[in-house]
Amino acid sequence: MLEQLNKQRQKVSSLVENRVHFAAKDVELSIYDTYENAERIRLCSSEVLFCGMLTGKKVMHVDSCDYHKPFLPNESFVLAPHQAVYIDFPTACLDKPTTCLAIEISKDKITSVADRLNCEYPTQQSHFEYHNELVHNEHNAQTQQLLNRLIQLFSENDPQRAFYIDLALNELVARLLQQQSRDFLFKQISHGHFSTGIHAAIDYLQKDLSQHLNIEQLSKIACMSRSKFFDQFKAMMGTTPQQWLHGQRLMSARDQLKQGQNVTSVAFALGFSHPSQLSRSFKKAFNQTPKQFQTQHLNSNQD
């Protein structure tokens, strides 16, 4: 089925944002290929627009929030409804097109998924709702696999196609809502607003990501029993304390690598036992070695 998709993409009607389009209930998926350098190409939607970069490089300009940054492979860029973005294509050419995936999701679908999450986790701390704001993150391997699966599902003619698309779409929306929920929580913590014991425990961990995880100490900081701390942490963060700390170390490693720091020094500074341990974990999470990631971003800044 992907061969069929590639044949459609080869029918080029425009050198800038040549579009292959698919539709299903509550969602539309488009793949855009650009074959020449272009600037200030406008993109806007009446619905939430989830974009995943596949190849090449874009530079995204959002006037409403004075945002001007590169958009690279293994990254997600989410536009709120009616939020316009203007796109530059500095590296696009005929033999190496810039390719992006765009998934337009209805507001009703997002509300439906948020309601279901809130029923599953009916605590005040884990309330899920969509916020009309820009999201730009390096996504993990699970999100990339999900995007690849959506491309395959949309391009096939399976009798249960609509059912499987809906399952994958639910997961994508849930990941977006969880990301926004975590971002809001971290903003609260950064401003010193500790509304729960979990907030206090997370603040303690963030002050030194290299420290050994001590659940007994964290439970005392949160003023909870060990079992309650585990349950509350997982309900709020969607993962265990150990998995969360590991993820935070990887994200901190990303930030330090962007600044040009040495892989070895980053590994030891963040509590990894050996640089190879960081490399394996980084590759598993982001589909790139630390060195590949660093080279990509340093080259992007030079461009």
CB 49 within 8 A of CB 30: no
User: Which of 166, 69, 187 has its CA nearest to residue 113?
Assistant: 166
Q: What is the pLDDT of residues 144-174, one digit of tens each?
A: 889 999 999 998 888 899 999 999 999 999 8
Distance, CA of 170 to CA of 46 (rounded, Å): 20
Bridge partners, 103 (sequence order) = 29, 50
Long-range CB contacts (within 8 A, 24+) of 224-230: 224/197, 229/197, 229/198, 229/201
- Cβ–Cβ contacts within 10 Å for residue 141, how many? 14
Strand order from edge to edge, sheet including 75-79? 18-24, 27-34, 98-105, 48-55, 75-79, 135-138
- Structure confidence at residue 124 (pLDDT): 47
pTM: 0.71
- Structure confidence at residue 83 (pLDDT): 92
Torsion angle of the four alpha carbons 257, 89, 66, 303, in this order, in degrees rounded to the nearest 10:
40
Q: Which domains does the chain have, with CATH numbers?
A: 2-187 (2.60.120.810), 196-302 (1.10.10.60)
> Consecutive 10-residue runs of the chain (303 residues): their mean pLDDT?
73 90 94 95 94 93 89 90 94 93 94 88 66 84 87 88 94 86 63 69 87 90 89 80 89 89 92 92 87 82 63
CB 235 within 8 A of CB 121: yes
In the chain, the amino acid numbered 297 is: H
Longest dimension (CA), the chain: 63
CB 29 within 8 A of CB 151: yes
- Structure confidence at residue 193 (pLDDT): 56
